[in-house]
Structure 1
Amino acid sequence: MRAVVWLVEGTWPACVDAVRVHAPHAREVVLLHVTGPEVPGVAHGAFAGLMGRGRAWGQGPAEGWEADPGDRLEALGDGSAAELLDAAAERLGRPCVREERSGRPEREVVAAAEGAGLLVLARDGDRSRLGPHSLGPAARFVVDHAPCPVLLVWPGEAPSLGTIPPPPPHHR
């Protein structure tokens, strides 16, 4: 079985621990990190708006001309992803495949899970109570569209059963 583990800043340790416990005999563990286009894209757009769209990048007066900050943010993101993958591999403590993707995270995760025997991800929404709001939009999309079994973990201690929302009025 191939297990894919979606690593997200802040929740990745719980996912790595879960695959160690629930899939110790997986023949292959893929540690997956996806960098979304949002931050560099916003920086590219802001820079284009401030500097004017008619100029070619890197051309202009030598003094005061700045490089596109989106390029720098992309480089920082690549370094951060590599550090996260290194830390996750060390925590896993066994041979694994490290995979970096870029694009819409929810779609990249679903694509990476094709042919897998298990996909591990953490809840990314409201962690203070049980219920549907404990999944953010990206995790909800992945859970709804994953082409394999999904192991959904709490990135910390799960809230008590007393946090379950009451049933709707028509079900009481």
Structure 2
Amino acid sequence: MIVLIWITEGTWRSTVDAARAQLSSGGGAGEAEVRLLYVTDDQVADAAHAAFAGLLGRGHPERDPGDRMEELGRTAAAELLEAAAARLGHPAVRLHRHGRVEHEVVRAADGVDLLICARDGDRDRLGPHSLGHATRFVVDHAPCAVLLVWPVPAPGLDSLPPPPG
């Protein structure tokens, strides 16, 4: 069994805890190959590169703030993956990808048996708004089973909207 855990800044603890629960539940899951995935969205660094080149950077490429943003992103990703691996307490492959987040997660899920991700939208009520754009895309397009967890205790059934009409 191959388990992919999508790690994001705000929800990584809940996804790792859910994976730990799955791995400890038996059924051969203890022998699972676990992959921790973090995806860096390069749009911010690309925008900094472009702004610097277009407005400020003529003749001084060493001052490009996009380079520093990329370096900070690599460091932050490595630290987050390390923290997730330590919390997991199970051998895991660490994957750091770059690009459009939702597309990279779906690509990484190819050939995987289980993808674990967390709700990242509205945490106050049940429903479709509890998923952000990227997570909605991943849930809709993942080529494998998906375990979708709440990063906080789930809201009560009283948060359901009333029926239409």
Q: TM-score, normalised by structure 1?
A: 0.88
Whole-angstrom distance in 1 between the partners of 2:19 and 2:123: 21
Give identity over the alignment, percent: 61
Does structure 2 retain, via aligned residues, the 8 Å contact 1:14–1:122? Answer: yes
Is 1:107 paired with 2:112?
Answer: no
**Deviation larger for 157-166 or 43-52:** 43-52
Task: Identify unmatched segments of 5+ residues in structure 2.
Answer: none
Which residue type is aligned with residue 157 of structure 1? P
1:167 Cα shift? 2.0
Task: Identify unmatched segments of 5+ residues in structure 1.
Answer: 59-65
Out of 57, 75, 79, the residue aligned to residue 71 of structure 2 is 75
Higher helix share: 2
Determine the structure 1 residue equivalent to 2:13: 13
SS at match of 2:94: strand
Whole-angstrom distance in 1 between the partners of 2:66 and 2:35: 29
Does structure 2 retain, via aligned residues, the 8 Å contact 1:32–1:99? Answer: yes
Whole-angstrom distance in 2 between the partners of 1:162 and 1:168: 16
> Which runs of at least 4 in structure 1 moved beyond 3 Å after TM superposition?
none
Is 1:98 paired with 2:132?
Answer: no
Computing the radius of gyration from Cα coordinates, the structure with the larger value is: 1
Q: TM-score, normalised by structure 2?
A: 0.92
Does structure 2 retain, via aligned residues, the 8 Å contact 1:123–1:136? Answer: yes
SS at match of 1:119: strand
Determine the structure 1 residue equivalent to 2:3: 3
Out of 44, 51, 58, the residue aligned to residue 46 of structure 1 is 51
Number of aligned residue pairs: give it: 160
Which residue type is aligned with residue 162 of structure 2? P
1:23 Cα shift? 3.6
